[in-house]
Each structure stands twice: as C-alpha cells, then as structure tokens.
C-alpha cells in the first residue's frame, strides 16, 4: 500500500515538474500536442502554437477534463472497468469535445486561459485497480492522446476553437 502511494506521489510530482518546466522554458507558453493521420498515431508530429503567450495578467481556469462535460459518449470506456458513472474514483466521461462545446461558458467566467488535464494516454486503471486515470496523471504513452478525452483531431479542434475565442490553452 505504501509503495502504491509512493508511486502516485512520484508520478504526480514528475507531471507537475514537467508542467512547470514547459511553462517556464517555452516563450510560446501553450502548445497543443496534435498528431495527424497514419504514422502520427504513435508519434507527436505536429504542434499547434498558441496565438499568444501567457503573461502575469492572464487568469487561468484549471479544468479536470474528465469531470467537466461529456461531449462524446463513444469514448467513455468500458462500464464496470474504468468508466463508472457516479463513482468518483473512476472515469466520468468528460472529454475535449465537451470542453469545446463549453468554451463560451468558460470565457464568460472572465478567464483568459484554460489549463486542462494532461493529454497523453493513461493507464485505464491504477495497479491495484482501485481508481482510474481520470485525472490524466497515470501516463502510459506520452506520444498518444488519451482516448477517453478524444482523438488528436478533437484536441486540435479544442485548441483552434479556443484560440478563435481569444483563449490560451495550457497543455501538458
Ligand atoms: Ca466522453
């Protein structure tokens, strides 16, 4: 049990380190991982640059993608495995299509940037199967988009739509 907890702490710590190193080292500040087509399924082959860099005047709204809005029930996972509606230790179905549909709502809150859950593919369940990777911090493959959140094209659409509304996206 202690080892599982230690592994979770290390995993979350590494994810935060990656996040902050990206934020501090990249003047473009917000990049979206966005592969396309055939061979891109296993490689990150394309990046969408933010239309503007973050600065000290930005108001960042942090969204746990899985808990925000389910815009596509086809990517929710398998009932009684990782997708268990109402059991908050497991996936609830929120995704990038849902976020895209709700960008006006988020913008009307008065924010200028959105920080969403990590986008890479997660293990569906923890090692002891007591929870799912709904939060995005059980990264399995950094080169693939998490299928519970949608396809790479869904992520590209989210970024493009956010930019068209003057919103910056912070992705890890
Ligand atoms: Ca969904």
* Residue 23: per-residue pLDDT: 35
Q: What is the distance in A from the centroid of ligand 1 to the CA of 76? A: 5
Q: Tokens at residue 75, please?
A: 């990517």
For 30, 43, 55, 141, 151, the CA distances from 40, given in Å and listed in that order, are: 21, 5, 32, 13, 12
The structure's pTM equals: 0.73
Instruction: Return the structure tokens found at 151.
Output: 């396809």
Q: For all residues of the chain together, what is the average pLDDT? A: 80
CA of 103 to the centre of ligand 1 (A): 16
114 torsion bin: left (phi>0), alpha (psi -120 to 50), beta (else): beta
Query: Is the predicted pLDDT of residue 153 greater than 60, yes or no?
Result: yes
Query: So what's the pLDDT on residue 39?
Result: 41
CA distance 101 to 95: 10
Assign a CATH topology to domain 2-170: TIM Barrel (3.20.20)
CA of 108 to the centre of ligand 1 (A): 23
4-32 residue pLDDT tens:
455 554 444 444 434 433 333 333 333 44
Q: What is the mean pLDDT of residues 76-104?
A: 96
Distance from Cα 24 to the centre of ligand 1, integer Å: 32
Residue 97, H or E segment:
helix 96-101
Which stretches does DSSP call E strand in the chain?
Answer: 31-33, 47-49, 60-63, 113-116, 120-122, 139-145, 168-170
């Amino acid at each position: 049990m202690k080892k599982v907890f230690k592994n979770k702490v290390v995993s979350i710590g590494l994810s935060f380190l990656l996040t902050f190193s990206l934020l501090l080292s990249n003047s473009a500040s917000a990049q979206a991982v966005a592969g396309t087509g055939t061979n891109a399924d296993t490689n990150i082959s394309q990046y969408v640059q933010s239309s503007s860099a973050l600065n000290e005047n930005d108001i960042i709204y942090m969204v746990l993608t899985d808990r925000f809005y389910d815009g596509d029930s086809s990517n929710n996972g398998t009932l009684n495995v990782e997708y268990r509606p109402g059991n908050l230790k497991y996936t609830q179905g929120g995704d990038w299509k849902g976020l895209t549909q709700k960008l006006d709502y988020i913008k009307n809150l008065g924010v200028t940037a959105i920080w969403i859950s990590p986008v890479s593919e997660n293990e569906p369940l923890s090692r002891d199967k007591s929870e799912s990777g709904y939060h995005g911090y059980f990264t399995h493959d950094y080169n693939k988009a998490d299928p519970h959140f949608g396809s790479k094209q869904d992520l590209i659409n989210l970024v493009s739509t956010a930019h068209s509304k003057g919103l910056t996206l912070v992705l890890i």
